[in-house]
């Protein structure tokens, strides 16, 4: 049983194979957080879990209660499970609401709880799920504010085998009056100490999700987005790790929000060296009018603890996401290597050019062709036509259907690019519906990449997107969709929301987006969807729920990609990362790297090419067949196996990744060096996670290696030349 309840003492112990999470109630009234970490076999006594904080009175702390033992209790000094404003806890709250009389004081106390097997979906929001009710247990605890009649239903699920806990809550307004929710984070989580480093993944276009690590100090440290998307600037992920944490040792607590819009995620260290971690919808520019009888659901936060280092934290996220977050039927299928024409042609193509690229690619063994931006309206550059999802017959005289048939005749599948959330001011759609874009009346409509964002908080706009995209998908044998989104929101407002509801805009947009994605993907279950946002500008679990892969970055330079893919892998598995080989000099950074390096860097991801194969020299072209063959043979090791980050790009000249297949029989090590070193020292690469006592055969030369030797002695790697890259494959004997 994953949830053990001590009814008498109101202790809730959420136990997975390797972790425990315990919460309880002080004076059967308000919820306190008692423990999260390595698995505890038995539930300790309440007093052992909470003995210190509330027995030491502190100056300036207001007192909420006196315990039976006579202790004066201030919530400010306690690890709180559900934090609100208006009591003695003066730290950043999880929930904050304004009531009819203008007051913002809430007081929630325990009303009841229920436990059930499995996990319920969250209304209107993507979330992790179970395939069988035996995989997880869920707990719902109801807290009520008797004065207002507002209830909070805390929602927990523990995935026993995945060692994951998810949290969210639903706010139900069972009172008589409307309330205004001004802050609805998904969770705050109090630690009794502060000696943590924070790890997060931040960047910008072309350098998304570079891993950052810094110590916490007194005060606040967070990442956030007010861009209308999770964004490539920050990601809704962070981890608090012990000072000694490495890939293989120490303790790591990871938080990741299943949400694609504005978020905040961080931690505050209080005066007494306790830490409050928090994550949820960004309260900046957010408010929600909750009418009597209505409820508000917060997005889900996935929480992973590992007592075995940062690497194991990542692997736990990866296993959960590839199995119980992604919903697409492709989650368990190996996907074809593809070729995309974006960097090959940009907007400058016609049917002949596209077919010639596909013909050549087919000779390299590639089985999927993706037609990128520029096929619709009159789009010869980025100044027009978004929203007009009608084929440009000047470029494609036989329509999408005609082109698709020609690609299919080559034995290849056909995929198509869309950017459905956008509208160009120069478009038929804008002529017909100038108020369909995000805007504030009488203010300028700021362009980014010459485009505006459609207002997905409106039902009519969502319906238009669903109908127009579905119509194209139904018009031809389209088996893959790249769903792009190339700007952030500015000058935000909706023509349909009144002044009291404008604060709901960002969240309503995301709810609209999820409705649209749900409708289109469920109407086309056989289409493989890839999400994209000017590269990896919306790489988050919310999008992965609907679309099993995300274009990781527009930066296809091999070296830059090592860092981008590394930061992304902190919580997202390689099977979710679109990764392509492009030409050199690289279009984003002008660097020249060997074809093999570009291939091997992209190989563990959802692999493909983004170049004009008709212009490749024979030597490079001949590598395509080899690379595609390798990918077809070993893709499942990268995509279903476990990742061990042996050496990370931020730590030095070598990056080394090890993948162990799901059946544990195949081990692949990918090695990359950035700089050649004359007269180079030998670097020893120590493998991880092998089966004790097992023997592995290196398939390339038949050498036999014991697991012991591979893990403790290591294998030598010489970094004598720039961009030296190697792949070692071992089969367990
Ligand atoms: C941004 C994407 O990341 C690119 O791959 C490409 O699809 C362009 N948009 C097209 O406009």
Structure confidence at residue 241 (pLDDT): 98
Is residue 384 over pLDDT 80? Answer: yes
Signed CA dihedral, 471, 579, 316, 186: sign only? negative
Res 254 pLDDT > 70 = yes
- Closest atom of ligand 1 to 554 CA is 3
Peptide bond into 241 cis (omega under 30): no
Q: Is 373 in the pocket of ligand 1 (CB under 6 A)?
A: yes
Ligand 1 contacts CB of residue 484 (under 6 A) = yes
pTM score above 0.85: yes
Check: CB of residue 680 under 8 Å from CB of residue 717: no
Q: Whose CA is nearest to atom 9 of ligand 1?
A: 534
435 part of the active site: no
pLDDT(56) > 70: no
CB 524 within 8 A of CB 416: no
* 3-state SS, residue 321: helix
- pLDDT for 72 equals 77
Catalytic residue among 372, 373, 484, 557: 484
pLDDT at 612: 98
User: C-alpha angle with apex 692: 690 to 693, nearest 5 degrees?
Assistant: 120
Angle at 274 between CA 272 and CA 277, to 5 degrees: 145
* CA 454 to centroid of ligand 1, rounded, Å: 18
- When pLDDT is cut at 50, 70 and 90, the band that residue 714 belongs to is very high
Centroid of ligand 1 to alpha carbon of 659 (angstroms): 30
Domain boundaries, the chain: 3-324, 329-422+458-487+526-639, 649-732
Taking 90 as the threshold, does the pLDDT of residue 73 lie above it? Answer: no
What pLDDT was estimated at residue 45?
Answer: 87
Determine the residue of 449, 450, 484, 487 to mutate for testing ligand 1's pocket, defined as the one with the most ligand atoms within 8 A of the Cβ atom. 484
Give the tokens for residue 290: 């909750």
More confident residue, 321 or 71: 321
Tens of pLDDT along 12-26? 999 999 999 999 998
- Residue 55 pLDDT class (50, 70, 90 cuts): low
With beta carbons less than 8 A apart as the criterion, state whether 11 and 141 touch: no
Residue 728, pLDDT score: 97
| Ligand 1 touching residue 372 (CB < 6 A) | yes
Q: How far is the CA of 390 from the centre of ligand 1 (A)?
A: 19
DSSP type of residue 228: S
Residue 61, pLDDT > 70, answer yes
C-alpha 636/C-alpha 681 separation (Å) is 34
Look at residue 70 in the predicted model and tell me its pLDDT.
76
CA pair distance 648, 602, nearest whole angstrom: 16
* Cα-Cα-Cα-Cα dihedral sign, residues 597, 598, 603, 609: negative
Contacts of 585 (CB under 8 A, 6+ apart): 591, 592
Q: What is the mean pLDDT of residues 199-209?
A: 98
Question: Taking all residues of the chain, what is their mean pLDDT, rounded to a whole number?
Answer: 96
Instruction: Determine contact, residues 551/331, Cβ cutoff 8 Å.
Output: no
CA 423 – ligand 1 centroid, Å: 15
The correct CATH number of 649-732 out of 3.30.420.40, 1.10.760.10, 2.60.120.10, 2.60.40.1180 is: 2.60.40.1180
Up-side HSE of residue 493: CA atoms within 13 Å toward CB? 14
Judge whether 541 and 257 are in contact, CB under 8 Å: yes
Q: Is the peptide bond before 585 cis (omega within 30 degrees of 0)?
A: yes
- Count of H helices and E strands in the chain? 13, 40
Kindly report, residue by residue over 283-338, the tens digit of the pLDDT: 999 999 999 999 999 999 999 999 999 999 999 999 999 999 999 999 989 999 99
How many Cα atoms sit within 13 Å of 629 on the Cβ side? Answer: 7
| Half-sphere exposure (Cβ direction) of 707: Cα atoms closer than 13 Å | 16
- Whose alpha carbon is nearest atom 10 of ligand 1? 373
pLDDT of residue 398: 98
**Mean pLDDT, to the nearest integer, of 678-682?**
91
Which fold would CATH assign to domain 3-324? Beta-galactosidase; Chain A, domain 5 (2.70.98)
Q: How far is CA 136 from the centre of its chain?
A: 21
**Residues in the chain, total:** 733
Active site includes 29?
no
Cα three-residue angle 342-235-550, rounded to 5 degrees: 35
Across the range 127-152, mean pLDDT stands at 97
- Proportion of the chain above pLDDT 90, given as a percent: 92
| 190, 554, 612, 620: the active-site residue | 554
Predicted pLDDT of residue 57? 64
| DSSP-assigned beta bridge partners for residue 717 | 683
pLDDT in tens, 541-568: 999 999 999 999 999 999 999 999 999 9
- Interstrand relation of 338-340 and 606-609 (parallel, antiparallel or unpaired): parallel
| Strand positions, DSSP E, 326-412 | 338-340, 368-371
The predicted pLDDT at position 53 comes to 59
Examine the pLDDT at 598 and tell me if it is beyond 80.
yes
Asked if the model's pLDDT at residue 442 lies above 90, the reply is yes
Q: How far is the centre of ligand 1, averaged over its atoms, from the C-alpha of 451 (Å)?
A: 14
Q: Does 530 contact ligand 1 (Cβ within 6 A)?
A: no
Q: What is the pLDDT confidence band of residue 59, given thresholds at 50, 70 and 90?
A: confident
Average pLDDT over residues 616-626: 96
Report residue 27's pLDDT band, with 50, 70 and 90 as the boundaries: confident
**Helix orientation angle between 399-409 and 459-475, rounded to the nearest 10 degrees:** 40
CATH class of 329-422+458-487+526-639: alpha beta
Mean pLDDT value of segment 206-228: 98
């Amino acid at each position: 049983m994953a949830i053990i309840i001590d009814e008498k003492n109101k202790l809730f112990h959420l136990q997975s194979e390797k972790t425990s999470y315990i919460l309880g109630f002080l004076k059967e009234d308000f919820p306190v957080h008692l423990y999260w970490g390595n698995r505890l076999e038995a539930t300790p006594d309440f007093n052992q879990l909470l003995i210190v904080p509330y027995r030491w009175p502190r100056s300036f702390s207001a007192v909420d209660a006196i315990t039976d033992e006579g202790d004066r209790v201030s919530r400010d000094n306690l690890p709180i499970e559900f934090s609100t404003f208006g009591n003695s806890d003066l730290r950043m709250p999880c929930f904050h609401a304004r009531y009819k009389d203008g007051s913002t004081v809430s007081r929630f106390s325990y009303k009841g709880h229920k436990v059930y097997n499995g996990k319920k979906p969250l209304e209107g929001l993507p979330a992790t799920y179970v395939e069988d009710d035996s995989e997880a247990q869920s707990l719902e605890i109801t807290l009520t504010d008797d004065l207002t009649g507002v209830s909070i239903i805390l929602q927990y699920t523990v995935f026993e085998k995945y060692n994951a806990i998810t949290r969210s809550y639903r706010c139900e307004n069972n009172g008589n009056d409307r309330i205004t929710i001004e802050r609805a984070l998904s969770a705050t989580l109090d630690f009794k100490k502060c000696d943590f480093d924070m790890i997060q993944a931040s960047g910008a276009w072309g350098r998304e999700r570079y891993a950052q690590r810094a110590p916490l100090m007194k005060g606040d440290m967070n990442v956030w987005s007010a861009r209308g998307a999770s964004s490539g600037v920050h990601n809704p992920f962070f981890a608090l790790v012990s000072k000694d944490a490495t890939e293989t040792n120490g303790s790591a607590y990871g938080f990741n929000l299943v949400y694609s819009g504005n978020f905040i995620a961080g931690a505050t260290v209080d005066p007494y060296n306790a830490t409050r971690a928090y994550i949820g919808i960004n309260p900046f520019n957010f408010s929600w009018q909750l009418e009597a009888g209505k409820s508000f659901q917060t997005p889900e936060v996935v929480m992973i603890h590992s007592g075995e280092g940062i690497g194991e934290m990542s692997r736990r996220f990866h296993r959960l996401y590839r199995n119980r977050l992604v919903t697409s039927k492709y989650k368990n299928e190996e996907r074809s290597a593809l070729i995309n024409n974006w960097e090959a042609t940009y907007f400058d193509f016609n049917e002949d050019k596209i077919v010639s690229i596909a013909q050549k690619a087919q000779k390299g063994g590639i089985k999927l062709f993706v037609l990128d931006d520029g096929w619709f309206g009159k789009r010869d550059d980025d100044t027009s036509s978004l929203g007009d999802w009608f084929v440009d017959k000047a470029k494609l005289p036989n329509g999408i259907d005609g082109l698709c048939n020609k690609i299919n005749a080559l034995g290849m599948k056909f995929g198509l690019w869309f950017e459905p959330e956008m509208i160009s001011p120069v478009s038929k759609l804008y002529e017909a519906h100038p108020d369909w874009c995000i805007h504030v009346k009488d203010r300028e409509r700021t362009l980014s990449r010459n485009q505006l964002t459609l207002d997905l908080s409106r039902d009519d706009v969502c319906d238009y997107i669903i109908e127009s995209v579905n119509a194209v998908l139904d018009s031809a044998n389209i088996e893959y969709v790249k769903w792009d989104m190339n700007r952030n929101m500015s000058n935000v407002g909706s023509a349909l929301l009144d002044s009291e509801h404008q604060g709901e805009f960002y969240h309503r947009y995301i709810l609209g987006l999820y409705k649209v994605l749900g409708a289109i993907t469920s109407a086309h279950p056989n289409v493989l969807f890839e999400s994209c946002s000017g590269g990896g500008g919306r790489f988050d679990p919310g999008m992965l729920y609907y679309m099993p892969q995300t274009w990781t970055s527009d930066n296809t330079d091999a070296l830059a990609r090592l860092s981008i893919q590394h930061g992304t892998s902190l919580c997202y598995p390689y099977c979710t990362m679109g990764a392509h080989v492009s030409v050199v000099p690289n279009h984003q950074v002008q660097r020249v790297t060997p074809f093999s390096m570009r291939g091997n860097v992209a190989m563990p991801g959802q692999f493909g090419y983004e170049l004009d194969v008709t212009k490749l020299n024979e030597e490079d072209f001949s590598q395509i067949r080899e690379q595609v063959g390798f990918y077809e043979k070993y893709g499942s090791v990268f995509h279903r196996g476990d990742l061990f980050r042996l050496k990370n790009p931020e730590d030095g000249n070598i990056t080394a990744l090890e993948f162990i297949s799901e059946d544990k029989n195949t081990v692949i090590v990918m090695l990359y060096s950035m700089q050649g070193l004359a007269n180079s020292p030998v670097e020893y690469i120590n493998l991880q996670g092998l089966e004790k006592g097992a023997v592995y055969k290196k398939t390339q030369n038949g050498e036999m290696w014991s697991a012991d030797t591979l893990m403790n002695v290591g294998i030598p790697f010489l970094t004598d030349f720039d961009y030296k890259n190697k792949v070692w494959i071992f089969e367990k004997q």
